[in-house]
């Protein structure tokens, strides 16, 4: 059973209750309950294979796309059951956007990458302004404003990842899920992503999966430690890293296993 240390009460933006996910007959996560507060950054940490990505993907129904995946328990977004009949997973993913480990821009121009989502959603406002705003929010505008119509694939890896963040922001989401967003990047590009996450939480709720404890300590307000499919401990990041309540958390953060 997870120990939760004064995670703020009140309505959570996202909430899992007794959530288990199975791939075929084996459980990847078991009985996880967690609340994600608004305008905060929450990090999921734990050794490889402990279920961080699986848990993350439940929050925008990405596991629906994994053959053989099945969930038990509840996931709520602002109080509404995300898995209720009639809920459109495409709309869920618009509100709860996702950024993946490897930057995956479309083989299109920088502009078209950002304009793509709003266009399919029938956006009727000023698309140029939306593209600029999204690129500014992703801290990329100054680097690309003079070459918006060049291929996104010519950008560096770090720029491509910020472009993917701009693309996610362009559909005006509420939450961003990030699955190891900097693990394929060099240290300078990583720092830009971390600075950006810090800025983003003013307007968005962010959940980040990271295998880097240093990164979790730098960017997150709350940290959840998972181990073998269970949520072991969840609380304010400074407490988790300085004064964890559970022995296994301490063993992990002090590097005794991992
Ligand atoms: P983490 O993100 O912490 O590395 P994952 O959520 O990726 O962990 O994986 C948790 C467990 O679920 C692992 O045992 C992994 O092998 C298994 N798993 C993950 N994705 C799949 C999948 N698509 N099919 C079958 N098993 C999977």
Evaluate whether residue 136 is within a structural domain.
yes
* pLDDT confidence bin for 1, thresholds 50/70/90: very low
Q: Is the pLDDT score of 246 beyond 60?
A: yes
Q: Is the pLDDT score of 5 beyond 80?
A: no
Helix ranges (DSSP H) in the chain: 52-58, 89-95, 110-120, 127-137, 141-144, 157-169, 187-200, 213-219, 237-242, 247-253
Mean pLDDT computed over 219-237? 97
Evaluate whether residue 173 is within a structural domain.
yes
Q: Is the pLDDT score of 10 beyond 80?
A: no
C-alpha 135/C-alpha 109 separation (Å) is 13
Evaluate whether residue 76 is within a structural domain.
yes
Instruction: Specify the pLDDT at position 30.
Output: 98
Evaluate whether residue 225 is within a structural domain.
yes
Q: Does ligand 1 have an atom closer than 6 angstroms to the CB of 26?
A: no
Average pLDDT, the chain: 94
Q: Does ligand 1 have an atom closer than 6 angstroms to the CB of 23?
A: yes
Could you tell me the pTM of the whole model? Answer: 0.95
Q: CATH number for the domain including 190?
A: 3.40.50.300
Pocket test for ligand 1, best of 51, 65, 101, 212 (most atoms within 8 A of CB): 51
* pLDDT confidence bin for 2, thresholds 50/70/90: low
Evaluate whether residue 258 is within a structural domain.
no
Question: Collapsing DSSP states into helix, strand and coil, what is residue 133?
Answer: helix
Range(s) of the domain holding residue 183: 4-253
Q: Does ligand 1 have an atom closer than 6 angstroms to the CB of 50?
A: yes
Evaluate whether residue 164 is within a structural domain.
yes
Evaluate whether residue 90 is within a structural domain.
yes
Instruction: Specify the pLDDT at position 257.
Output: 80
Q: Which residues contact 43 (CB under 8 A, 6 or more apart)?
A: 207, 208, 209, 210, 215, 216, 219, 220, 222, 223, 224, 237
Q: How many domains does the chain have?
A: 1
Instruction: Specify the pLDDT at position 256.
Output: 86
pLDDT in tens, 44-90: 999 999 999 999 999 999 999 999 999 999 999 999 999 999 999 99
Evaluate whether residue 93 is within a structural domain.
yes
pLDDT in tens, 124-164: 999 999 999 999 999 999 999 999 999 999 999 999 999 99
Distance 28 CA to ligand 1 centre (A): 6
């Amino acid at each position: 059973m997870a120990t939760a240390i004064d995670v703020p009460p009140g309505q959570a933006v996202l909430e899992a209750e007794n959530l288990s996910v199975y791939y075929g007959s084996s459980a990847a996560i078991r009985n996880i309950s967690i609340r994600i507060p608004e305008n905060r950054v929450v990090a999921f940490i734990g050794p490889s294979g402990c279920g961080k990505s699986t848990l993350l993907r439940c929050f925008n129904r990405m596991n629906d796309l994994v053959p053989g995946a099945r969930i038990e328990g509840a996931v709520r977004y602002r109080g509404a059951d995300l898995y209720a009949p009639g809920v459109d997973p495409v709309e869920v993913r618009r509100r709860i956007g996702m950024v993946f480990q490897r930057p995956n821009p479309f083989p299109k121009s920088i502009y078209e990458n950002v304009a793509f989502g709003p266009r399919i959603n029938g956006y009727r406002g000023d698309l140029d302004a939306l593209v600029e705003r999204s690129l500014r929010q992703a801290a990329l505008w100054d680097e690309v404003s003079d070459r918006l119509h060049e291929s996104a694939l010519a950008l560096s890896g770090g720029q491509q990842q910020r472009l993917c963040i701009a693309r996610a922001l362009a559909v005006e989401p509420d939450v961003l899920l990030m699955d190891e967003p900097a693990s394929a990047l060099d240290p300078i590009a990583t720092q830009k992503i971390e600075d950006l996450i810090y800025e983003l939480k003013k307007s968005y709720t962010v959940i980040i999966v990271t295998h880097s404890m240093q990164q979790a300590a730098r960017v997150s307000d709350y940290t959840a430690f998972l181990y073998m499919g269970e949520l072991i401990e969840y609380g304010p990041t400074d407490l988790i890293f300085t004064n964890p309540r559970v022995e296994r958390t301490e063993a992990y953060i002090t590097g005794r296993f991992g």
